[in-house]
Amino acid sequence: MNIIGDNDQPIKFIDLFAGIGGFHLAFHGEGAECVFASEIDEQARKTYKANFNQITPELFENEDELFNKDIKEQVIDEIPDFDILCGGFPCQPFSNAGFKRGFEDTRGTLFFNIAEIINKKQPQAFFLENVRGLFNHNNGRTFETIKRVITEDLGYSFYWKIVKASDYGLPQARPRLFMVGFKDRNINFEFPDPVPLKYDMSYVMGGSVPRSVGFTLRCGGRGSKIHDRRNWDCYQVDGKDVQLNSKQGLLMQGFPQDFIFPVSETQAMKQLGNSVAVDAVKATAHNIIKALKKKDYFKKVLQQELLFSYADFK
């Protein structure tokens, strides 16, 4: 790990359960460098590589080392050093038994792999994302176990918030649980304040839509009729029923319009439904990086003051 800003080195992060790269895009936009990524789904890997091969070519020069296929098989010591761990980890079922043994209670879940990496690599911060339902899963015991592992077993601070994409400019609700923590527990972190919508669903669909904020994108159940309670991808546009496509989905998730899908439209929509809302992640990433830079700025000032004091003493 480097002192933030020392020798103009960028903050380094790793992108776990990377999907199509929402975290990568957000942190890259804040000037950070991705040094390792992991994604098991072959179709998502194609999309990830197609879009980040030029931005971060080092990841793909030796895919076996830096673009991991299965984080459960990764040798942790071979992951490059990094400052921030990022991951939208799947909510695998946690055991209903126990929930008092901390680290041991998470074995067999993908969260355990995250905890192991944090334990061994000791990054300065982490940023995890999951569905809102994780907060209340198993009467809240799953969330409390995660919190206890992070704060008691790993010794990190723990901040959490249920965030909506529409709070950060994007026209869909998409409530998600954001979890952030720091190795230095003295760092004071605040989630970013909400901002107005950048554009509404009329802009996304290219015509008049009755609702300004759209449905949350999903990875299944596509093609329901507009009045079906399960509908999420059909909108009334200029009085006609129109099904959402991947170009429009990119706008709703905050991806650029030149983002490439080297896969079928069905796969593209599934990948968008599994992705993070980029603007919400980027706003949070900005505050994480700002908090780390503030900490290291004062660390440098203190080091300089100690040096000056030592010189005066001599």
Q: How confident is the model at residue 136 (pLDDT cuts 50, 70, 90)?
A: confident
Per-residue confidence (pLDDT) for residue 102, from 0 to 100: 55
Specify whether 34 is catalytic: no
Per-residue confidence (pLDDT) for residue 138, from 0 to 100: 80
Residue 1 belongs to a domain: no
User: What is the percentage of the chain residues whose pLDDT exceeds 90?
Assistant: 75
Evaluate if residue 6 carries a pLDDT over 60: no
Per-residue confidence (pLDDT) for residue 164, from 0 to 100: 97
- Say whether both 160 and 148 belong to one domain: yes
- Of 241, 244, 258, 260, residue with least CA distance to 201: 244
Average pLDDT (229-246) is 96
Structural domain including 133 reads 6-197+271-313
Per-residue confidence (pLDDT) for residue 98, from 0 to 100: 46
Per-residue confidence (pLDDT) for residue 153, from 0 to 100: 94
- Say whether both 139 and 277 belong to one domain: yes
Residue 83 belongs to a domain: yes
User: What is the percentage of the chain residues whose pLDDT exceeds 70?
Assistant: 86
- Say whether both 188 and 205 belong to one domain: no
Task: Kindly report the CATH number assigned to the domain that includes residue 190.
Answer: 3.40.50.150
- Say whether both 192 and 205 belong to one domain: no
Per-residue confidence (pLDDT) for residue 161, from 0 to 100: 98
Q: How many domains does the chain have?
A: 2
Evaluate if residue 238 carries a pLDDT over 60: yes
Distance CA 114, CA 104 (A): 13
What lies within 8 Å, CB to CB, of 40 at 6+ separation is 69, 70, 71
More confident residue, 152 or 109: 152
Choose, from 34, 86, 91, 234, the residue flagged as catalytic: 91
Residue 67 belongs to a domain: yes
- Say whether both 225 and 308 belong to one domain: no
- Say whether both 157 and 278 belong to one domain: yes
Estimate the crossing angle of helix 278-313 against helix 22-29, to 10 degrees: 40
Per-residue confidence (pLDDT) for residue 76, from 0 to 100: 97
Per-residue confidence (pLDDT) for residue 282, from 0 to 100: 98
Average pLDDT (155-166) is 98
Mean pLDDT value across the chain: 89
- Of 201, 202, 191, residue with least CA distance to 167: 191
Average pLDDT (300-314) is 50
- Sign of the Cα torsion 25, 30, 33, 39 reads negative
- Say whether both 19 and 118 belong to one domain: yes
pLDDT digits (tens, 9 = 90+) for 58-94: 999 988 899 999 999 999 999 999 999 999 988 666 5
Per-residue confidence (pLDDT) for residue 139, from 0 to 100: 84
pLDDT digits (tens, 9 = 90+) for 203-219: 999 999 999 999 999 98
Evaluate if residue 297 carries a pLDDT over 60: no
Can you give the pTM of this predicted structure? 0.89
- Say whether both 242 and 121 belong to one domain: no
